[in-house]
Structure 1
Amino acid sequence: MLNDLRTLARVLCDDYAPRTATESVIISDRPHGRLRRYGSREQFDRARRDGAVPVLLVPPLAVPARCYDLAPGVEPANSVVEFLLSTGSIPYVVDFGDVGRAERRLGFEDYFDGFVPRALGDALGDFGVSGGSADLLGWSLGGTISLLTAAFHRDLPIRSVITVGTPLSYAKIPMYRAVRTVLAPTAGRPVDSVLKALGGIPAPLVQFSYRALAWQRELRKPKYILDNLNDRDALIRMQVIDRFQDSMPGYPGRVSEQMLLNLVVRDEIGDGVLHLGDRTVDLRALTAPVFAVGSHRDAVVSHAAAQHCENLLTSSSRVDFHTVETSHLGLLTGGVAAARTWPAIAKFRDELTVTA
């Protein structure tokens, strides 16, 4: 009984799950583009010697870059970075940093035509293999930015694009379809005016929205804690997710407007041609191989929205779609991801290496 009370106190005080991070080094520290390389020097040298293709991890907007390295060394498996290192690859992650009112003018074009291409160049420069290329891997909107980058810059040395829980048609997501119906008569102008006034979507609202999408989990949490006081792994997993949700930054102002108008109201991404700032991106012209993962149980991105890649990316040399039945975050990290998502990604990457 005393041990249970101690465990409960540590959980309630956010002191139960270990705070771990994979060994890393900062390669460059550009504004909204800090680049971090993971792994030891020995792992780095071995990967270069073996001719491994590095991976640039692109985080979603309004999500901390550490989504790819949640509680490494702690079961159940929570670190994509740790897995990639185990396959002999070197993962890099571009960190877009915090977002406040000062970032209100940032749009998607700043990411796919600025931050990500520069990070890719820095990563390949650091890896130092002449004529080398890298795979882009993005979860949720990180996958969107990766696809936009590869489509807009078809000359960049991008070997493939890997997306996890990435929406490629907002018209195929029931929640956004309803929003689109409501906003259609005004073309979204009233809400767009509010977003302009706010300078974006503040971090507290993003955090609340993410929790609201998993409202059943939030309601069941007190009972879940009490039922699992003797299950260390279950409590660690819960607290890792809670910390992750509590650290979400906001959306930049221009990005939030583009998400509303270009993605939701007009569903330009579903049609394949996006008009973002003074750039036009045609996803149908993307030629790099693409691997995508979706789930029928994803409360954020419907299975149909993720699978739309098969119909959309008509110029890609290869489009593989893989179904993993779990939550939005569960597609990326956790026991199901370790058993289903990660091995499928590794198989895809190995096949690209063999056919190169």
Structure 2
Amino acid sequence: MLSDLRTLARVLRDDYAPRTATESVTVSDRPHGRLRRYGTRDQFDAAREAGAVPVVLVPPLAVPASCYDLAPGVDPANSVVEFLLSAGTIPYVVDFGDAARRLGFEDYFDGFVPRAIADAIGDFRAGSNTVDLLGWSLGGTLSLLTAAHRRDLPIRSIITVGTPLNYSKMPMYAAVRSVLAPTDGKPIDYVLKALGGIPAPLVQLSYRATAWQRELRKPKYILDNLDDHEALVRMQVIDRFQDAMPGYSGKLSEQMLVNLVVRNEVGEGVLHLGGHTVDLRAISAPVFLVGSHRDAIVSHAAARYGEKLLTSSSHVEFHTVESSHLGLLTGADAQAHTWPAIAAFRESLVTSLA
């Protein structure tokens, strides 16, 4: 009984799960584009010697870059970084930090991500001098926008996990589009301008609301699992991740509302962002897509739409993993299904190019 009370106290004061991170070094420290390379020197040297293609991890907007490295060394199912390292791949992650009010999508696909790719290739200096891009949620959108807009970049492939590719196929936005389409989103756009974007607390609350059952059951879950160390660690790691979500900048939030939701430019294939016209249908690199029927944020149909959208890609492959939005990327379902599928896709690229 006393040990249970101690465990409960540690959970309530957020002192139960260890705070860990995979060993990394900073390759470049640009504003809104800090690039880190994961792994030990021995892992780095071995990957270069083997000619392995590195992976640049592109985080979603308003999500910390730590989404790819949750609880390493504590739970092997909670770190995409550890999975990639175990497969002999060197992962790099671009950390955007907090978005300034003036930043729009164009700053990412025409600036931050291309520079990260160049820095990663300059650091790795081996093999074919190409990279694979891997993006979860809107990180996948940024990856695709980058590949479409900067076709000169040495991108071998793009991997998207839970990425929305047609907002008209997402029920949660249907009502928004029907109400705002006649005014091109102007009423809410004015509100976003006045607020300077979407504040962090609202982003965090919105994300938690997609799994409201989990939030309601949390007190009982804690009490039922006081003797289950791994269950409590997983819960606290996810809670910390959610609490670290920053907000959306003013310009980004306006573009998301008008260009992505109301106009559904992603689904149409051509986006008009910050003076740039980006045609996703022009992407020629192979693309691997992952989606789920259980994802409360991105519908299965919206994630799978890339099969119809990416008409110039040399190979488009879709893989279904039945899990939550975060569960597609990290956790037991990802470890059992998403990660092996990604590994098989990347291996197929090696075979096809041999």
TM-score w.r.t. structure 2 length? 0.99
Distance 2:35 2:184 in 1: 38
Q: Structure 2: which amino acid aligns with 1:41?
A: R
1:139-197 C-alpha deviation (Å, 9 max, x unpaired): 00000000000011111100000000000001100011111112123221010011111
Distance 1:277 1:21 in 2: 36
Q: Structure 1: which amino acid aligns with 2:132?
A: D
Distance 1:76 1:354 in 2: 28
Aligned to 1:166: 163
Aligned to 1:272: 269
Distance 1:225 1:25 in 2: 36
Q: Structure 2: which amino acid aligns with 1:324?
A: V
Aligned to 1:115: 112
Tell me the CA shift for residue 133 of structure 1: 0.1
The partner residue of 1:323 within 313, 320, 323 is 320
The SS at the match of 1:300 is coil
What does 1:184-203 align with in structure 2 at a 5 Å threshold?
Answer: 184-203=181-200
**Aligned residues between the structures:** 353
Q: Is the 8 A contact 1:76 1:233 kept in 2?
A: no
Tell me the CA shift for residue 25 of structure 1: 0.2
What does 1:230-241 align with in structure 2 at a 5 Å threshold?
Answer: 230-241=227-238
Q: Structure 2: which amino acid aligns with 1:63?
A: V
Aligned to 2:69: 69
Q: Is the 8 A contact 2:280 2:309 kept in 1?
A: yes
Tell me the CA shift for residue 17 of structure 1: 0.6
Q: Is the 8 A contact 1:76 1:237 kept in 2?
A: no
1:241-285 C-alpha deviation (Å, 9 max, x unpaired): 000000001111111000000000000100100000110000011
Q: Is the 8 A contact 2:282 2:313 kept in 1?
A: yes
Mind listing any 5+ residue stretches in structure 1 that lack a counterpart?
A: none
Mind listing any 5+ residue stretches in structure 2 that lack a counterpart?
A: none
Tell me the CA shift for residue 202 of structure 1: 1.0
Q: Is the 8 A contact 2:168 2:264 kept in 1?
A: yes
The SS at the match of 1:178 is helix
TM-score w.r.t. structure 1 length? 0.98
1:272-318 C-alpha deviation (Å, 9 max, x unpaired): 00000110000011000000100000000000000000000000000
Q: Structure 2: which amino acid aligns with 1:84?
A: L
Aligned to 2:311: 314
Distance 2:347 2:229 in 1: 35
Distance 1:166 1:200 in 2: 22
